[in-house]
């Protein structure tokens, strides 16, 4: 924003450049400030605004000349979670009410999950994968996408977490994928009810991507080998299942069974997560935090050749 101009002056600037008459400029500025909820801030300067309010002014200014496409480059990167949500809600209103296609450049998984319809993953300046948001993140094909999904979602145990699970739980460890188009918590509940197998969730998480469920649950199963094999076979008809074995008989590189088995139990292979999500001693917790932070820095700064970025689009898909 231009620090020497008021909020209204900033929004009016592109209209001045475009040669709009003063009366039309004033009318358009008032309309846009009302749309972004900043009518009462019209005479204030950028230095008097919060980060979220500045972003709203920027959005209003970008919309001044009625563009067909809006580019939002890291528009939420410096905002707290609540303000980020407010800005994303505003962008969704821009798309829904004004019919503007929005291209979002971001490293934040939550932004893409919540707001976008389609996504392109970029690495070293090239698009390495693209498609619908759910399809790309639920079935990542490129290593850059897989690493990012593993870092962001953390629904699968890391190698260290898997070893702890095996030590603490003597039964068979199995990971089940949960998706809208194959596998659900209901399928798991049904299989446990119909087979003489005891099952308890020991790890995992389910989130929403593009308003559709995605994630995985890791369970400890107890029962005879035949009963567990029958349970896995039954569940594999609707879900992707990874048999991780036991402490006595670990499976180092298990094969997934079930529909879309080549994808594993819903995303990157077990052990690719950065943070294992468990409660540890202080040393383990610091190590986990450091590993997570290092991965996030690599993601943002491009260390080690990573630097994946996302160009995500929502609304008016025919423009993509």
pLDDT in tens, 165-176: 888 888 888 888
- Tell me what the mean pLDDT of segment 107-119 comes to: 83
Of the chain, the percentage scoring pLDDT greater than 70 comes to: 77
CB atoms within 10 A of CB 43: 10
- The residue assigned the tokens 């991780």 is 244
Provide CB contacts within 8 A for 299, sequence distance 6+. 107, 148, 151, 306, 307, 308
pLDDT tier, 41 (very low <50, low <70, confident <90, very high otherwise): very high
| b/e 211-239 (16+ beta carbons within 10 angstroms → b) | eebbbbbbbbbebeeeebebbbebbbebb
pLDDT of residue 254: 54
Q: Look at 310 and 297; give whichever has higher pLDDT.
A: 310
Under the banding of pLDDT at 50, 70 and 90, the label for residue 19 is very high
Confidence at 111, pLDDT banded by 50, 70, 90 = confident
**Mean pLDDT throughout 219-235?**
89
Better pLDDT: 278 or 180: 180
pLDDT on residue 316: 47
Domains in the chain: ranges and CATH: 7-123 (3.40.50.300), 157-244 (3.30.70.260)
For 33-41, what is the mean pLDDT? 95
Most confident region among 31-35, 200-204, 279-283, 308-312 by mean pLDDT: 31-35
* Average pLDDT of every residue of the chain: 77
Q: Which residue has the tokens 């000349």?
A: 65
H or E element, residue 70: strand 69-73
Angle value at C-alpha 121, between 118 and 125, nearest 5 degrees: 135
Mean pLDDT across 131-147: 86
Q: What is the pLDDT of residue 286?
A: 44
pLDDT of residue 245: 83
Of the candidate ranges 42-51, 54-63, 127-136, 239-248, the one whose mean pLDDT is the lowest? 239-248
- Each residue's pLDDT tens digit, 89-106: 999 999 999 999 999 888
Most confident of 50-59, 70-79, 256-265, 273-282: 50-59
Alpha-helix runs per DSSP H in 36-182: 51-63, 81-98, 109-115, 133-138, 143-153, 159-168
pLDDT above 60: residue 301: no
What pLDDT does 284 receive?
43
For the chain, give the percent of residues with pLDDT over 90. Answer: 29
Kindly state the helix (H) or strand (E) to which residue 37 belongs, with its residue range.
none
**pLDDT of 181 strictly over 50:** yes
Residue 291: pLDDT over 80 = no
Please state which of the ranges 1-5, 17-21, 23-27, 145-149 shows the lowest mean pLDDT.
145-149
Q: Above 90 in pLDDT, residue 57?
A: yes
Q: By mean pLDDT, which of 71-75, 193-197, 254-258, 306-310 is the weakest?
A: 306-310
Measure CA 78 to chain center.
Answer: 17
pTM across the whole model: 0.64
pLDDT at 312: 54
Write the burial class of residue 132 (CB in 10 Å: 0-12 exposed, 13-18 middle, 19+ buried): middle
CB 193 within 8 A of CB 142: no
């Amino acid at each position: 924003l231009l620090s020497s101009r008021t909020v209204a002056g900033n929004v009016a600037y592109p209209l001045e450049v475009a040669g709009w008459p003063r009366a039309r400029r004033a009318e358009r500025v008032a309309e846009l400030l009302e749309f972004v909820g900043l009518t009462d801030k019209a005479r204030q300067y950028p230095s008097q605004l919060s980060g979220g309010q500045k972003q709203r002014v920027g959005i209003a200014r970008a919309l001044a000349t009625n563009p067909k496409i809006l580019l939002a480059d890291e528009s939420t990167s410096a905002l707290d979670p609540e303000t980020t949500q407010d800005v994303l809600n505003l962008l969704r209103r821009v798309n829904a009410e004004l019919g503007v296609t929005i291209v979002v450049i971001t490293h934040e998984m939550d932004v893409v999950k919540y707001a976008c319809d389609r996504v392109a993953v970029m690495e070293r300046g090239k698009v390495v994968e693209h498609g619908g948001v759910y399809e790309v993140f639920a079935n990542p094909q490129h290593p850059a996408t897989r690493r990012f999904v593993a870092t962001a979602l953390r629904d699968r145990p890391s190698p260290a977490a898997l070893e702890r699970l095996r030590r603490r739980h003597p039964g068979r460890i199995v990971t089940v994928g949960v998706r809208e188009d194959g596998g659900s918590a209901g399928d798991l509940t049904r299989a446990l009810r119909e087979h003489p197998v005891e099952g308890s969730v020991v790890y995992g998480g389910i989130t929403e991507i593009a308003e559709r469920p995605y994630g995985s649950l890791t369970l400890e199963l107890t029962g005879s080998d035949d009963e567990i094999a029958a349970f896995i076979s039954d569940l594999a008809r609707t879900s992707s299942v990874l048999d991780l074995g036991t402490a006595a008989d670990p499976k180092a590189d298990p094969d997934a069974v079930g529909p879309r088995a080549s994808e594993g139990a819903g995303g990157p292979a077990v052990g690719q997560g950065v943070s294992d999500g468990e409660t540890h001693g202080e040393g383990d917790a610091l190590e986990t935090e450091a590993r997570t932070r290092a991965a996030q820095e690599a993601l943002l700064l491009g260390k080690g050749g990573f630097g994946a970025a996302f160009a995500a689009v929502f609304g008016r898909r025919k423009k993509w």
